Structure 1
Amino acid sequence: MGVYIGNVELKGTWVLGDKSGSFDIEQPLDNDGYDALVTALNLGLGDVMEQIKSKVEAP
């Protein structure tokens, strides 16, 4: 979700097998407009995936 203060906010929970977690990430927009929103969402989703990866690979 893009917000008026110039950030994308990604919040949610995930479940993968017997592992689960939540995420709450804010990614700033570099510019105004839809392209900047999509770029920020992409970067934020990359962070979400890294968080999930670290939890799934942990013993």
Structure 2
Amino acid sequence: MLRRLAASEGISAAAYMQRAVLERMEDEADYKEAQINRAESKGATISRAEIMKQLGMKP
């Protein structure tokens, strides 16, 4: 199955596994950062409109 998936993307099985592991590590880091941010916010929320305003986007 691994070889088929890798071949379907035109890469080796080793490259496919490396990419999968790196993506998983990034996901884990993102999750941990989100947990820290959530704890620091003490439940405070921000509206979608405010986020868009901060990013210079139109709602």
Question: Which of the pair is proportionally richer in strand?
Answer: 1
In the superposition, the TM-score normalised over structure 2's length comes to 0.45
Bigger Rg over Cα: 2
- Please report the TM-score for the alignment, with normalisation by the length of structure 1: 0.45
Structure with greater helix percent? 2
